[in-house]
Amino acid sequence: MDISIIIATANRATDLRDTLDNLAGIRRPGAVELLVVDNRSTDDTRQVVASAAAHFPYPVRYLFEAEEGKYAALNSGIRAARGATIAATDDDARFEPDWLEKAADGLQRYGCDFVGGRVRPLWGGPKPSWLAERNGLHTKVIALLDHGDRVREFGRGISWPLGVNVAYRRGVFDTVGFFDNRLGRKAGTLRNQAQREWHLRARAAGVRGFYLPDMIVHHLVAPDRLEKPYFRRWLYWHGISRALLFRHGGFDMEEPELERPPHARERMIGGVPVHLLVKAARSARALAWHAAHGNVATAFEHELWLCFFAGVVRQRWADRRSPIANGPATGHVPISSAPPAFTRDGADLVI
């Protein structure tokens, strides 16, 4: 088997059906299999997969993962995969016909361990006027990515690939380990740093990956995600997730990819670095000014940053007496291949 495509899904049978229909039409650079990992669905996800498998142009396997969380499901898929390459995506994606061809070519051409590419929006409703046209915080919420028109190395001036559009050499998981499900989304939370934590751990192990501008996936932006409350809540949990990452490795909370964070060992108040407190004051003033002048999209970007800051404050206050791992300021990212234990006094953190 050359390539295993993995989709983790939970209670999105309708979206999954359309995604499978689209995947059936992609070109295949070798022997391909599809693994659909059902993460405790209570709808007809299993029947949708069985129906698709009956006429699919390549093998389809259904797996059930009882542990809650996308990354528990993804880990199960990786363990079960037979392919030398693992292509991960989501249950609400659409693909260019050459998606797999571009991934396979990139892995071979650049001799790297993983590749990822552009993620463009498929708007499920009218794009709101309060969303900025340029890249900004809002693109994190609806999982869009565009690093431009040239090939670049991930983690060197650009962020990591999104889970909806990434392909790995199977052996890299023997080197780096699996994803930490505790940093991914579960019911009642919007934690969102499992993908980033894995790639930071991978970089520390010497693993390299490249952004391929022509490896393109289109991601459905559902109407219920085009409401301001969802954006605010997502950025709040983003702040919590980044604060957990900060405690674990001292990573910059705004740009964890920085190997030498400019604010390392900065003085903190209530567990929060001073520069973030200063930025919060400036963002609050900017929000008021842009709102007063009718610049709704810019004002909302500042509001979203303040939601992020609120999540940081909450988690940093909870962790104010906990030690912060030291290392990124020297250029070394001290993460082992084992998932981190986000605990305090022997008990799991409640976030």
One domain for residues 264 and 203: no
One domain for residues 240 and 219: no
CA distance 133 to 33: 37
The helix/strand/coil state of 294 is: coil
pLDDT in the model for residue 350: 27
Rounded average pLDDT over 148-170: 96
One domain for residues 43 and 122: yes
Question: Which CATH number belongs to the domain containing residue 11 in this structure?
Answer: 3.90.550.10
Rounded average pLDDT over 262-281: 93
One domain for residues 219 and 246: no
One domain for residues 11 and 45: yes
pLDDT in tens, 24-46: 999 999 999 999 999 999 999 99
Greater model confidence, 51 or 338: 51
Q: Domain range for residue 195?
A: 3-226
Greater model confidence, 147 or 135: 147
One domain for residues 176 and 318: no
According to DSSP, residue 162 is labeled P
Last residue of a domain, one of 226, 256, 271: 226
* CB-based burial label for 223 (10 Å; 0-12, 13-18, 19+): exposed
CA distance 241 to 192: 6
| β-strand pairing of 272-273 with 268-269 | antiparallel
- What is the average pLDDT score of the chain? 91
Is the pLDDT assigned to residue 303 strictly greater than 90? yes
One domain for residues 246 and 219: no
pLDDT in tens, 52-101: 999 999 999 999 999 999 999 999 999 999 999 999 999 999 999 999 99
Q: Sign of the C-alpha dihedral, residues 6, 10, 15, 21?
A: positive
CA distance 137 to 144: 10
- Partners of residue 179 on adjacent β-strands: none
Last residue of a domain, one of 176, 199, 226: 226
Closest CA to 117 of 205, 214, 19: 214
pLDDT in the model for residue 146: 96
- CA end-to-end span of the chain, whole Å? 41
Is 337:200 a contact under the CB 8 Å cutoff? no
One domain for residues 273 and 172: no
Within 10 Å of residue 336's Cβ, how many Cβ atoms?
A: 10
One domain for residues 47 and 150: yes
Closest CA to 291 of 303, 302, 299, 301: 299
- Partners of residue 114 on adjacent β-strands: 168, 209
Q: Sign of the C-alpha dihedral, residues 202, 334, 262, 245?
A: positive
Count up the domains in the chain and report the number: 2
One domain for residues 97 and 192: yes
Percent of the chain with pLDDT over 90: 81
Closest CA to 270 of 338, 316, 223: 316
Is 142:255 a contact under the CB 8 Å cutoff? no
CA distance 172 to 161: 15
Last residue of a domain, one of 226, 249, 272: 226
Distances (CA, A) of 133 to 197, 298, 351: 28, 10, 32
One domain for residues 175 and 70: yes
Is 130:296 a contact under the CB 8 Å cutoff? yes
Is the pLDDT assigned to residue 171 strictly greater than 60? yes
Instruction: Indicate the range of 198-207, 246-255, 265-274, 339-348 predicted with least confidence.
Output: 339-348
pLDDT in the model for residue 187: 73
